[in-house]
A and B are shown apart, each in its own frame.
Chain A
Amino acid sequence: MDKQASGDTVTGANVRRMARTAIGCEPLVGSQTPSKKRDYRVTNKLQEGKRPLYAVVFNFIDSRYFNVFATVGGNRVTVYQCLEGGVIAALQSYVDEDKDESFYTVSWACNVDGTPFLVAGGINGIIRVIDVSNEKLHKSFVGHGDSINEIRTQPLKPSLVVSASKDESVRLWNVHTGICILIFAGAGGHRNEVLSVDFHPSDIYRIASCGMDNTVKIWSMKEFWTYVEKSFTWTDLPSKFPTKYVQFPVFIASVHSNYVDCNRWLGDFILSKSVDNEIVLWEPKMKEQSPGEGTADILQKYPVPECDIWFIKFSCDFHYNAAAIGNREGKIYVWELQSSPPTLIARLSHAHSRSPIRQTAMSFDGSTILSCCEDGAIWRWDAVSTS
């Protein structure tokens, strides 16, 4: 997968979109002047290897391990701990038996009894569930027909993970029983690679996915919730489970005109980004009578300069107060999400950080920002008190 550049270079000219905006309802574009509310300093840089790192993620599932994070790159999954004074301690490292595996994504999850799991996936399309407590491979999920671009965990039921794949499907898995519960694909599904997926923070039935077909789709599994419940008590072979296809999303938004490579729920709103140098916050407005149709009301925009290549993902702190996103030049933009107009908290740059940043990770309170780069380096930034 060439994540270097999307099909067409995007300029400001084709940023205009189809969402109809009435006069006085134009989206608010944040100012790019940092507010200096918070200041971050580089406290550590770790060169993990030569291969690009595609994902870094803090464990928000288990409060005991809020300072533990994981990275993936190549066929390696590594677990670290952020200590005081900018120290990063390596805890565990897992290497896939296939040296050609290239992990693209990792997510924290846990068993029904709370055992922490790492769920990673990549080019092979096999989801590896690693039991971190006893350092063993818990399960491997096969089923995806192509590489896996993102895995996310349902925070309300951390045994449920959802995966987005190049095979144009999104699948819901139960890591506890190893069951593929639902497949979101088919007649109304994505028409190209699915690049990102996210669980709604409070509506347990709802997920949003986006991908190379330039759309964001919102899915409901309300009608299929019995199967989700059934998956927790399933003892028979996973292949005998009545896996269901969810063929029609409840909402399809064409907010972007190019690959949509990251989307996250912010309450009932959605933050999504394409290769247009900005993150967009919009509200899906569904028509009660006719599912699948609706309009997207674009609320705010968070400009991110030099962010015009695909597969750059942003991250938020636990409370979604702020989002951090890297760019093609190795700079990080930290935006305050819930202020209007949006305010840029900080722009982080370092003379030696020049490689594209694929993903960032904000710690629970946003005081630490990690970035993983194309050149295999992990940078740690810590907030300095502006007293």
Chain B
Amino acid sequence: MPGIPLVARETSSYSRSTDQMCREDSRVHLSAEEEIAAEESLSVYCKPVELYNILQRRAVRNPLFLQRCLSYQIQEKRRRRIQITISLSGAVNEGLQAQFPFPLYILLGRLVSDAAVAEYSAVYRFSRACILTNFTGVEGSTQVQANFILPEINKLALKAKSGSLAILLINFAGNQNSLRGTDLTKARLGVTSIPSNEGGYCLWGKIPLESLCMSWEKSPCLSLGQRAEFTYPVDMQSCFLKLSCLNKDKCVSIQMPFNSGTSNTTQQVHITISAEEFGVKDKSPYDSYTCSDISSSSLSRIIRLRAGNVVFNYRYYNNKLQRTEVTEDFSCPFCLVKCASFKGLRYHLPSSHDLFNFEFWVTEEYQAVNVSVKTDIWRSEVVADGVDPKQQTFFFWSKRRRHRRMKNLGQHSKHVQPLVLESNLPPEACQLLDGGNDLQSVSIGVGEFAQNVPSTFNVEGVANAGAQSYTDPECVQSVSGNNLAAPAMLQFAKTRKLSVERSDPRNRTLLQKRQFFHSHRAQPMAWEQVTSDRDSEDEVDDDVADLEDRRMLDDFVDVTKDEKQMMHMWNSFVRKQRVLADGHIPWACEAFTKLHGDALVQAPALAWCWRLFMIKLWNHGLLDARTMNNCNVLLEQYQKQDCDQMRS
């Protein structure tokens, strides 16, 4: 192989010229014959590509798990949200720092209810606290700003209108109290080390999100995708604060002292909040270029510049030649599925298109995949040689997913329910908890999205969202629709020969329209007859078989008429009852006796033929004496019946 696989690539890739990576067979010069041979060898791609097109059609309504994961990732990446960065406004707070000791805790809290816990004036629920310090901490880092992620502005504005969301600033250092040293950031779910009745005095201040939203909405910067920065003065008041844990969430309860009005501990802090919207598909200036006005050399450079572009090199003609194409958005070139990242592509390609070999290359400049056909195995897996796959019919039956979706939804809610019931909380608290769900999912993702790795902290949130993307039919629809409708191919990539029209549904309609004929009678069949369960293909025509049997027996000259009759009866019986094995004989003899009992009794010569035949069977060890006896007893019974009828 001319290429170097990914592992080796890490060290040697820098010396390779990019032109070599994206060449269009310019290096190899071929004779006319060789070119024809090369074209032919390129056609080995056709069948696998066609197969994958068919598979892709099938998977439209029922995407693979991997695809669902990847589309969820893309969706999450695109979700609009606002990141806010909170820091102390340096210029204003310059003088304050001496009398305003750090650390300052910043929480995004939701007002639970004033009435719920009567003795406190306000209870806020929060899930994460950020700490601001101005000194070098134990870990050697200085934390001067806190980051939070909020939902997009429209949703946020709706939520904020209720007035219950606020940014809280808490400072213990101002007061000498028992709570000093309690680290709010470390207060964790289920940790009981913090006594619920512990409390202390501190300074606190709040910025209602409502006011933030209003200023953001007014500001043109945010809507244009730029950073919006505002400075707010916050009044810090002293209060009694109590920390508690409610099931999953932490709560701070704040009690204003009765003499709050006359309190002289009020300080003013200036906070800078800068907000930026994320998740909108980043528009690159190259999105709207056309092929014609850019030279091909600069084009390839531009293509490489874009983050989601992946170069695919299709090797053929014994790996001597290659065709190159580029896809956008980490799309798979075979099924056009967007794979969110190069890693996603690395998982998707081998798992979904295992008829090809893939080599993955990553450098700082570009990502590339070398593709070659697994020549040894695909023949058996695709259709036989010389068979046009378009003529083949592929059936795919799948029950509608709705039912299962419902079930999943049910399972999910079941999964959540016990958690709530298990907590030893008063019912009011449970209700509060349910009410607070929204904020929970808002605040859960804080700072965590950048890594895309779910920590233990936001497991719930991810599960929730995952279930959503799975259970919401519209979501699945739109994702799969995207795969088909928006081909991520670049302009020049469309001209490739590998793209094969998708003919599966057309074939199906043709199949339904065409006339079917009965395989025995050659008569046209109604569609209902074609699709009915009944299949008479391998049925034996008993009448004709009987006729032929009789004709065959008629040829015997040394056999009496009764013997022929007996033979015919037995042959006919054996054929109709499909007596095939030696083990069937005892049953067959009894059944035969019952079936033809009357006829045998009425023609004693015939009955004797039957008895002789049974003896013959017994001679050959096919019939046991007991069964033979049973048969004769049966015959006697028929005889008796016959006599009774004669008499009466």
The answer to the question of A240 belonging to the interface, with a C-beta cut-off of 8 Å to chain B, is: yes
A159-B384 Cα distance, complex, nearest whole Å: 49
Q: Is the CB of B521 within 8 A of A180?
A: yes
Given A223-B547, A247-B548, CB of A239 within 8 Å of CB of B523? yes
Q: Is the CB of B548 within 8 A of A143?
A: no
Given A245-B544, A247-B544, CB of A142 within 8 Å of CB of B522? yes
Q: SS class of chain B's interface: helix, strand, loop or mixed?
A: mixed
A78-B551 Cα distance, complex, nearest whole Å: 46
The answer to the question of A241 belonging to the interface, with a C-beta cut-off of 8 Å to chain B, is: yes
CB distance from A151 to the nearest CB of B (A): 17
A245-B543 Cα distance, complex, nearest whole Å: 10
Given A142-B524, A143-B522, A239-B523, CB of A244 within 8 Å of CB of B529? no
Which residues of the other chain, B, contact A241 by a CB distance below 8 angstroms? 521, 523
The answer to the question of B496 belonging to the interface, with a C-beta cut-off of 8 Å to chain A, is: no
The answer to the question of B402 belonging to the interface, with a C-beta cut-off of 8 Å to chain A, is: no
Which residues of the other chain, B, contact A183 by a CB distance below 8 angstroms? 521
- Which of A241, A242, A248, A289 has the most C-beta atoms of chain B within 10 angstroms of its own C-beta? A242
- Interface positions, chain B 492-544, Cβ under 8 Å from A, are 517-518, 520-526, 529, 541, 543-544
Query: How many residues of B sit at the interface, in one of the four size bands?
Result: 10 to 19
The answer to the question of A32 belonging to the interface, with a C-beta cut-off of 8 Å to chain B, is: no
CB distance from B16 to the nearest CB of A (A): 64
Contact among A143, A238, A239, A290 for B555, CB-based, below 8 A: A290
- Which partner residue on chain A sits nearest B522 by CB separation? A143
Which residues of the other chain, A, contact B524 by a CB distance below 8 angstroms? 142, 238-239
CB distance from A161 to the nearest CB of B (A): 16
Query: How many residues of A sit at the interface, in one of the four size bands?
Result: 20 to 34
Q: Is the CB of A143 within 8 A of B521?
A: yes
Which residues of the other chain, A, contact B554 by a CB distance below 8 angstroms? 289
Q: Is the CB of A238 within 8 A of B543?
A: no
Given A180-B521, A237-B526, A240-B529, CB of A248 within 8 Å of CB of B543? no
- Which partner residue on chain B sits nearest A171 by CB separation? B522
Given A237-B526, A237-B529, CB of A243 within 8 Å of CB of B551? no
A241-B518 Cα distance, complex, nearest whole Å: 11
CB distance from A225 to the nearest CB of B (A): 12
The answer to the question of A145 belonging to the interface, with a C-beta cut-off of 8 Å to chain B, is: yes
Given A142-B517, A290-B555, CB of A239 within 8 Å of CB of B526? yes
Which residues of the other chain, A, contact B522 by a CB distance below 8 angstroms? 142-145, 180
Which residues of the other chain, A, contact B523 by a CB distance below 8 angstroms? 142-143, 180, 238-239, 241, 243
The answer to the question of A291 belonging to the interface, with a C-beta cut-off of 8 Å to chain B, is: yes
CB distance from B550 to the nearest CB of A (A): 9
**Count of A-B residue pairs with CB < 8 Å:** 48
- Which partner residue on chain A sits nearest B528 by CB separation? A237
- Which partner residue on chain A sits nearest B534 by CB separation? A240
Q: Is the CB of B541 within 8 A of A239?
A: no
Which residues of the other chain, A, contact B555 by a CB distance below 8 angstroms? 290
Which residues of the other chain, B, contact A142 by a CB distance below 8 angstroms? 517, 522-524
- Which partner residue on chain B sits nearest A144 by CB separation? B522
- Which partner residue on chain B sits nearest A143 by CB separation? B522
Q: Is the CB of B551 within 8 A of A248?
A: yes
Contact among B521, B529, B547, B548 for A243, CB-based, below 8 A: B521
Which residues of the other chain, B, contact A289 by a CB distance below 8 angstroms? 554
Which residues of the other chain, A, contact B547 by a CB distance below 8 angstroms? 223
Q: Is the CB of A239 within 8 A of B548?
A: no
Contact among B517, B525, B526, B543 for A244, CB-based, below 8 A: B543
A78-B521 Cα distance, complex, nearest whole Å: 31
CB distance from A201 to the nearest CB of B (A): 26
- Which partner residue on chain A sits nearest B541 by CB separation? A244
Contact among A145, A223, A239 for B518, CB-based, below 8 A: A239
- Interface positions, chain A 244-278, Cβ under 8 Å from B, are 244-245, 247-248
CB distance from A266 to the nearest CB of B (A): 29
Please, what's the 1-or-0 string for B69-109, where 1 marks a CB less than 8 Å from any CB in chain A? Answer: 00000000000000000000000000000000000000000
- Interface positions, chain B 286-323, Cβ under 8 Å from A, are none
Which residues of the other chain, B, contact A145 by a CB distance below 8 angstroms? 522
Which residues of the other chain, B, contact A291 by a CB distance below 8 angstroms? 551
List 9 tightest A-B contacts by C-beta distance, closest first: A243-B521, A143-B522, A239-B523, A239-B525, A239-B518, A238-B523, A237-B526, A223-B547, A143-B523
Residues of A within 8 A of B (CB): 142-145, 180, 183, 223, 237-245, 247-248, 289-291
Knowing that A239-B524, A241-B521, A248-B551 touch, tell me 8 more A-B residue pairs with CB under 8 angstroms.
Answer: A142-B524, A144-B522, A145-B522, A239-B525, A243-B520, A244-B544, A247-B544, A291-B551
17 contacting pairs across A/B (C-beta < 8 A): A143-B522, A144-B522, A180-B521, A180-B522, A180-B523, A237-B525, A239-B521, A239-B525, A239-B526, A239-B529, A241-B521, A243-B520, A244-B543, A245-B520, A248-B548, A289-B554, A291-B551
